[in-house]
Copies of this chain bind each other. A is one copy, B any other.
Amino acid sequence: MITIALPKGALLTDSIKLFQKIGLDFSAFLDSSNRQLQITDPTNTAKAVLVRTHDVPVYVEYGQAQLGVVGYDVLLEKTPDVANLADLKFGVCRMSLAVREASSYRRPSELPPNGRVATKFVHCAKEYFRRLDLPVEIIPLYGSVELGPITGMSEAIVDLVSTGKTLKENGLIEIDILFNSTARLIAHPLSYRLNQDHLCDWVEKLRLQV
């Protein structure tokens, strides 16, 4: 029986819809009274574990789940050893560079020398500024990255933006896009190569849905 790692949060509803289309029902995870983190679908065909979006590639990399759904942003940030098999088209967002609207910065190159950039995506931000050959100090934060420029701790932030509402509410504007992101179907590379539990058939069925 295959196990699928599903991400908590923004991608969950669309992920569950996708698997329903190929006959696997994990909608019990959407029930607000549900406390189980591991369920089997009603036809007893596949299992699913419900984990943090950043943990999905960990479960797949260690072979604890053969398939997983995760944002492209997480794959770029963590570069896990997993097979990236399909763009699932949902969960559209972008990794953006944003500054205070009241500031004078309108292009990355206008940021002050060795300016500070707060972000949850340290690896992505470092790579971006390295390519621009722009030396900045990256401040790693866990949450509320928008507080960086508001408190004056950083000149800019690198963060995931979907509607742009949070930026607007905090008086921030985007001045560059690092990359666009969508949900991806990932697999444990060895299980996929060896076609364990007919994994390739499942992947093919999923690909036909997007």
Contact = CB atoms under 8 A, between A and B. Distances in A.
Interface of A: 3, 8, 37-38, 49, 51-52, 54-55, 58-59, 62, 64, 116, 139-144, 147, 150-153
B142 A52 contact: yes
Given A49-B151, A64-B151, A152-B64, A140 B58 contact: yes
Contacts of A140: 58
Nearest to A141: B55
B151 A55 contact: no
A151 B38 CA distance: 8
Nearest to A56: B142
19 contacts: A3-B151, A8-B143, A37-B150, A38-B147, A38-B150, A49-B147, A49-B151, A51-B141, A51-B143, A51-B144, A52-B142, A52-B144, A55-B141, A55-B142, A55-B143, A58-B140, A59-B151, A59-B153, A62-B153
Contacts of A59: 151, 153
Contacts of A139: 58, 62
- Interface of chain A: mostly helix, strand, loop or mixed: mixed
Contacts of A144: 37, 51-52, 55
A112 to B, nearest CB: 16
Contact of A52 (B49, B55, B143): B143
A169 B107 CA distance: 52
A51 B144 CA distance: 7
Contacts of A49: 147, 151
B62 A142 contact: no
A54 B142 contact: yes
Q: Which 9 A-B pairs have the closest CB atoms?
A: A52-B143, A64-B153, A52-B142, A54-B142, A64-B151, A55-B141, A55-B142, A62-B153, A37-B147
A109 to B, nearest CB: 24
A59 B147 CA distance: 10
Nearest to A64: B153
